[in-house]
């Protein structure tokens, strides 16, 4: 952090509002993802299926897009919080509902799953120096829950979560290589994180809307 603004992405050229235009604009991908999920929720509602959890997840996708937009334009500490808090809530809430609705786990098991995700997220930065501990935790959760659902339960949502994990590997790679490649590619690669992560959120939210049992 310098001169009152947070400069951690390759594209940023200064403290001005429009110093990360591509990183800012690509947040539209999250809004598109949320709109598509709204259409699915409404289709389910016409069939008599109403589910507040799906709406909450959809609202969080919207919030992720707005929060990320604020951070890539304002680049302040409050904007950083607006960026990361909705992401963290989505990861923890989705972990709970994936275990509860896809696997039929008890509340105790769901709570333990959420705690494990939190523990991994907190342990990764000090152990590895990698700042994205919550994202590593999210990837491991998708692989673990998705693998269990697919291979042990033959649940259709398992394939969706594993597919989302595959896309998330690409997404996380784009986020990670942004700074190392900055000298060769001044635009950076963080915009790819937005685009591919929006796809990930659509896949997992779609699975919850279509395959999540109402418990």
Q: What pTM, to 2 d.p., does this model score?
A: 0.95
Integer Cα distance of 162 and 182 in angstroms: 31
- CA distance to 30, 33, 98, 182, 191, per residue, from 198 (Å): 5, 6, 18, 23, 11
Integer Cα distance of 132 and 95 in angstroms: 17
Q: Which residue shows structure tokens 């990183």?
A: 23
Region 10-32: what's the mean pLDDT?
97
Residue 1's pLDDT band (cuts 50, 70, 90): very low
Q: What is the pLDDT of residues 91-117, one digit of tens each?
A: 999 999 999 999 999 999 999 999 999
Please report the DSSP string for 102-160 in residue order.
Answer: IS---HHHHHHHHHHHHHHHHHHHHHH--S-HHHHHHHHHHHHHHHIIIIIS--HHHHH
Tokens encoding 212: 């999540």
Integer Cα distance of 115 and 212 in angstroms: 21
Integer Cα distance of 181 and 209 in angstroms: 38
Task: Please provide the size of the chain in residues.
Answer: 215
Q: What is the pLDDT of residues 121-169, one digit of tens each?
A: 999 999 999 989 999 999 999 999 999 999 999 999 999 999 999 999 9
Region 60-82: what's the mean pLDDT?
98
Integer Cα distance of 125 and 15 in angstroms: 27
């Amino acid at each position: 952090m310098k001169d009152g603004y947070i400069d951690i992405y390759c594209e940023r050229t200064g403290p001005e509002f429009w110093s990360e235009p591509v990183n800012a604009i690509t947040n539209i991908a999250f809004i598109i993802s949320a709109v598509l999920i709204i259409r699915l929720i409404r289709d389910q509602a016409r069939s008599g299926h109403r589910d507040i959890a799906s709406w909450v997840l959809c609202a969080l996708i919207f919030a992720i897009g707005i929060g990320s937009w604020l951070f890539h334009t304002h680049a302040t500490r409050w904007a950083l919080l607006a960026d990361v808090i909705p992401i963290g809530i989505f990861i923890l809430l989705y972990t709970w509902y994936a275990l509860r609705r896809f696997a039929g786990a008890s509340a105790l098991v769901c709570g333990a799953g959420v705690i494990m995700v939190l523990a991994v997220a907190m342990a990764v930065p000090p152990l590895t120096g990698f700042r994205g501990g919550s994202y590593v935790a999210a990837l491991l959760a998708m692989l673990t829950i998705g693998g269990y659902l697919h291979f042990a339960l033959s649940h259709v949502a398992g394939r969706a979560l594993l597919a989302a994990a595959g896309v998330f590997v690409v997404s996380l790679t784009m986020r990670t290589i942004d700074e190392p490649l900055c000298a060769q590619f001044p635009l950076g690669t963080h915009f790819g994180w937005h685009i591919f992560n929006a796809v990930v959120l659509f896949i997992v939210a779609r699975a919850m809307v279509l395959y999540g049992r109402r418990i």
